[in-house]
Amino acid sequence: MNVSEKIRTLRKSKGMSQEELAGQVNISRQAVSRWENGTALPDADNIVQLSKLFGVTTDYLLMDSYESDEDSPKIKENNKILHANLTRLAIIFQAAFLNACIYPWGDSNTIVLEMIMKLFPLLACSIWMASNHRYEKDLKQRAKNTKIESLYCLIQTVVFVLGYTLHIGVWSTLIILINLCAYIFIVNPKYMNRKLTR
């Protein structure tokens, strides 16, 4: 593959349009089109930006390769966002069900411990989400994801407070779990450019 073919292949593997790629590299969409058609080549700065964006080396982009797909460098999957999520999800589910089981303690001496136990599922999710940001290479996407995650935490907090004040612990826990599943299985892949991994 030559440079133009590699750029086109890498762009498509990321699910990006020519316009989106142009925005990432601060050039026009027409320039990206010329790169992919082979009528122009990216300059040195653009090559460095592209290699970082796609998670490949500059050598890979610049050198023509004739080897088979098996021998060519693998495109790095920079979506480690939900790595080991199944274990974390199990822990959060257990904590949430524990929250439901212990709901009305009614003992004023244990109110602080009760609040800590009830906030644990939300705290675990928040820490997990905050730790995901270190993998976000795209600053625009990172800003968008920060807003989505802030909204998610706000919803969880409101549900927690309502559940606690209205004494509907089991129902609030169920809503928290539904919100968590929607966030992981729908919002992450569809709106946050993240993939579910093991």
Q: Are 195 and 189 spatial neighbours (Cβ–Cβ below 8 Å)? A: yes
Q: What is the per-residue pLDDT for 66?
A: 44
Q: What is the per-residue pLDDT for 149?
A: 80
Position 30 confidence tier, pLDDT thresholds 50, 70, 90 = very high
State percent of the chain over pLDDT 90: 8
Residue 160 CA to residue 175 CA, distance in Å, equals 9
Mean pLDDT, to the nearest integer, of 42-69?
79
Torsion angles phi and psi, residue 181, rounded to 5: -65, -40
* Nearest alpha-carbon partner for 145 in 92, 190, 197: 190
Mean pLDDT, to the nearest integer, of 26-39?
91
> For residue 161, is pLDDT > 60?
yes
Residue 187 CA to residue 160 CA, distance in Å, equals 21
How far the first Cα of the chain sits from its last, in Å, is: 31
Summarised one tens digit per residue, pLDDT across range 112-155 is 776 676 677 667 766 766 666 666 777 788 788 888 888 887 88
State percent of the chain over pLDDT 70: 63
> For residue 6, is pLDDT > 70?
yes
> For residue 67, is pLDDT > 50?
no
Q: Are 198 and 84 spatial neighbours (Cβ–Cβ below 8 Å)? A: yes
Q: Which domains does the chain have, with CATH numbers?
A: 3-62 (1.10.260.40), 85-191 (no CATH)
Rounded to two decimals, the pTM is 0.47
* Nearest alpha-carbon partner for 178 in 163, 192, 164: 163
> Burial, 193: exposed, middle or buried (Cβ in 10 Å; 0-12, 13-18, 19+)?
middle
Q: Are 118 and 160 spatial neighbours (Cβ–Cβ below 8 Å)? A: yes
